[in-house]
Amino acid sequence: MGLRKNKLRDEHSEVDTGPLNDILFILLMFFLMISTLANPNVIKMSVPKAKSDTKQKQSVVVSVDKDKNIFVGSKKIMPDSLESVLRKYINEGDSIKPAVVINADSVSQWGEIVRVMKVARKLGASTSATVTGTE
């Protein structure tokens, strides 16, 4: 029995991709040129501008040591003048209030720390306390 070999099975069929590559290249070039020509500012908007530089106020550092001495920044103040000194840093008319950071020694009395917090809150400032000390 003589079987014939099918010539179509032995031949490798290939798809010519040359025209497909040309079309893809042309499309790629088209989209690259259009994307560079497109104006990204299509919608005209007016951006608000401030007359003055609006910066957040800095924190006021109040320190209380173990001998009940009170310091605003690095300046020692009398305990009775705490409210008047803090009022200079915290203006009641301002919408942005600075934070009062209270640094206290670990052996200082909590009554003084709470008194400083009450004065700062009375003036409208936010407060936070940190306790440092040697162990």
Q: Between the CA of residue 119 and those of 4, 64, 67, 93, 131, what are the distances in Å?
A: 107, 14, 20, 17, 19
Considering the entire predicted model, what is its pTM?
0.52
100 strand-pairing partners = 60, 127
Q: Alpha helices, DSSP H only, in the chain?
A: 7-10, 18-37, 82-89, 110-122
What is residue 30's predicted lDDT score, i.e. its pLDDT?
92
Domain 60-132 classification at class level: alpha beta
94 closest CA partner among 128, 125, 51, 60 = 125
Question: Has residue 72 got a pLDDT over 70?
Answer: yes
Question: What confidence score (pLDDT) does residue 25 get?
Answer: 95
Q: Tokens 């005209």 sit at which residue?
A: 44
